A and B are shown apart, each in its own frame.
Chain A
Amino acid sequence: QVHLQESGPGLVKPSETLSLSCSFSGGSISSYYWTWIRKPPGKGLEWIGSVYYTGTTKYNPSLKGRVTISIDSSKNQFSLKLNSVTTADTAVYYCASYTGRFFDFWGQGTLVTVSS
């Protein structure tokens, strides 16, 4: 059983950088791709990207260029940075463990609102 917990600011100004962290426990770091997913209000789930414990990353092409996901294995944490945010980036952001095929454990989610 993997436990994940998101943390970070709930309000970000337009054009600034959204930064979130996810702390995880209970699983082997090398067993998963550690992943960020978001759900904008009234819309569906969107995969943002994933990072492996080696630092290898994979991003959603629709966000590529604005997103960076990194991992700190010593702290069992991984992070999301999304640049140049707009109101369209307002969403509940989830961190999750990805087996390479599906997501078996999820954090509870954190709402990030982009507003001036």
Chain B
Amino acid sequence: SYELTQPPSVSVSPGQTVRITCSGDTLPNELAYWYQQKAGQAPVVVIYKDTERPSGIPERFSGSSSGTTVTLTISGVQAEDEADYYCQSRDSSDTVLFGGGTRLTVL
């Protein structure tokens, strides 16, 4: 079965840039999506179709894709960006896949 692998945690100082990766064998063939989940809240999509940013999501959020890895980049991190981030895709049988999640800590 397919899996999506993320680092469990990353930390960054305010104003710096952080990159969160998501790796999986299905990613060359399927689009990826990124969600931000703050404590006690439902997830919100911050990147769709690998690189697109929904309206209302700050420009400091961006996505990229290369081979079996997709990356969420947050440039100029702010304290309010502290959250859990999940990548999501699907496999060839339409099973939905979530990465294990990455806890972003803003120092």
Q: Contact residues of A with B, CB < 8 Å?
A: 35, 44-47, 50, 58, 60-61, 94, 98, 101-104, 106-109
Contacts and interface: CB of A to CB of B under 8 A. Distances in A.
A104 B42 CA distance: 11
Contacts of A102: 33, 45, 48, 88
Complex A-B, nearest 3 residue pairs according to Cβ-Cβ distance, in ascending order: A106-B42, A47-B96, A44-B101
Contacts of A58: 94-95
A109 B40 CA distance: 9
Contact of B95 (A44, A60, A98): A60
10 contacts: A44-B84, A45-B43, A47-B96, A58-B94, A94-B43, A101-B33, A102-B88, A103-B33, A103-B35, A103-B43
B42 A108 contact: yes
A58 B99 CA distance: 19
B1 interface: yes
Interface in B14-39: 31, 33, 35, 37
Interface string B43-64: 1110011000000000000000
Interface of B: 1, 31, 33, 35, 37, 42-45, 48-49, 84, 86, 88, 90, 94-101
Contact of A101 (B44, B90, B98, B99): B90
A58 B101 CA distance: 23
Contacts of A46: 98
A99 to B, nearest CB: 9
A101 B94 CA distance: 9
A106 B48 contact: no
Contact of B45 (A45, A60, A103): A103
Nearest to A49: B96
Contacts of A107: 42
Given A44-B86, A44-B101, A101-B33, A109 B95 contact: no
Contacts of A108: 42
Given A44-B86, A102-B88, A61 B43 contact: no
A46 B4 CA distance: 12
